[in-house]
Amino acid sequence: MRHKIAFLFTMLATSFVAVAQSESSAQVEIDGSQGTSLTGAVMTSFDKPWAMTFLPDGHSLVTEKTGKLWLLDENQQKRFSVSNVPDVTPRGQGGLGDVIIHPEFNTNNTLYLSYVERDPQNDAYSGAVIERAKLSISDSGASLSERELIWRQSPTMTGNGHYSHRMAFSPDGYLFITSGDRQKFMPAQNMAMNLGKVLRLNADGSAPKDNPFFGNGSVTNQIWTLGHRNLLGIDFDKQGNLWTHEMGPKHGDELNIIERGRNYGYPIVSQGDHYSGVKIPNHEDNPVFKAPELAWVPAISPAGFIIYKGDLYSDWTGNGFIGGLSSKALIRVTFSQNDEGDWNVEEAERYEWGKRVREVEQDDKGNIYVLEDKEGGRLIKLQHKG
């Protein structure tokens, strides 16, 4: 009997290694709409991956919506499941969300995690929250400590969609957060709520006193811009400009440059319409609202976003890369500005391989990685053939 059990464990271990080796050696051929050919090297796979960030030493972190935080080694293979992460109840679009590191991670080991918290008084209500914590890594595992909740969506809402809860640090050290409208429309215009907004906080979660609406209450103090729907991508360009993309209603997905104190109009204006078929006026019909620099009709369902700052692929430096869910593509956009300061933002190419793209990230060497959506979503390292 012992021999049979030992044989069984040997077979299982051998099968696991074989699957891991097969998975990590797989290649994906990707065709661009303008004739560019990319190759994707499959690194590993996850259960509903949602976000990724790189550590200074080449390790990376990947969240799964279902609640796991993975530490990957320098070869982007799973090393440890991080312990002492927040407990989440995945439901709808909510679960474990974004992960980013503090700008001084090398000295403070601090990271930030967003996730969805159920209201303890009524489980039908929920909202996104953000914790900061210390990451410890040893030869035997990785764990979080000194966890501290620093931000909450206010108020909690029914439903399980449009949390957004993406994060990015500005070059001058402020924490920017995208907070979705929770599929409730008018919160995006309600200044007593931090829903449907882009928020600007200090690294400890407090509101900077130079925020545009500071002095009007603790929630309003956080607001940087308003009139947004569901923002699942945020990044700064090399000049320090902040860009976000957001899902429109029925079509009308947007790419916006985020300017202090501006109102982006949703749900009063949009380049799309309601799912019911009811028309929404376009931004051009009411120019008091800031219009997007680029909009998509039909929709691409954007998720994940980087503005490429590497030089490994120098012809892409300064380009944006957006993951597409319904469009099942990676979308590359270019940015230019005329002498008057007006932006010209264009879709340059789409790269397709039949999978929903949830996340896009770049490492310090200039490599670009994408995470596919849903169960079995693969981490793929892209190579530009030129």
Asked if the structure places residue 15 within a domain, the reply is no
CATH number for 42: 2.120.10.30
Q: Euclidean distance between the first and final Cα of the chain, in Å?
A: 58
- The tokens describing 106, both together, are 């090398």
The predicted pLDDT at position 355 comes to 98
Spatial separation of the C-alpha atoms in residues 64 and 128, rounded to whole Å? 15
Q: What percent of the chain has pLDDT over 90?
A: 92
Cα–Cα nearest to 200, from 161, 229, 172: 172
Task: Return the number of other C-beta atoms located less than 10 Å from residue 335's C-beta.
Answer: 20
Predicted pLDDT of residue 24: 56
pLDDT at 25: 65
H-state helical runs in the chain: 2-25, 105-108
Q: State the residue range of the domain holding 90.
A: 27-384
Judge contact between 254 and 248, C-beta under 8 A. yes
Domain assignment present for residue 12? The answer is: no
Chain centre to alpha carbon of residue 173: 19
ω into 155 cis (within 30 of 0): yes
Within a domain: 6: no
Segments in the chain below pLDDT 50: 2, 4-22
Give the Cα separation of 18 and 255 in Å (integer).
Answer: 42
Question: Is residue 16 in a domain?
Answer: no
Locate the DSSP E strands across 153-229. 157-158, 164-169, 175-179, 197-201, 223-226
What local confidence, expressed as pLDDT, does residue 22 receive? Answer: 47
* pLDDT at res. 385: 72
Q: Is residue 239 part of a domain?
A: yes
pLDDT computed for residue 71 by the predictor: 98
C-alpha 168/C-alpha 162 separation (Å) is: 18
Q: What is the pLDDT of residue 386?
A: 60
Instruction: Identify the pLDDT of residue 384.
Output: 87
Q: In total, how many domains does the chain have?
A: 1
295: in domain? yes
Q: Average model confidence (pLDDT) for the chain?
A: 94
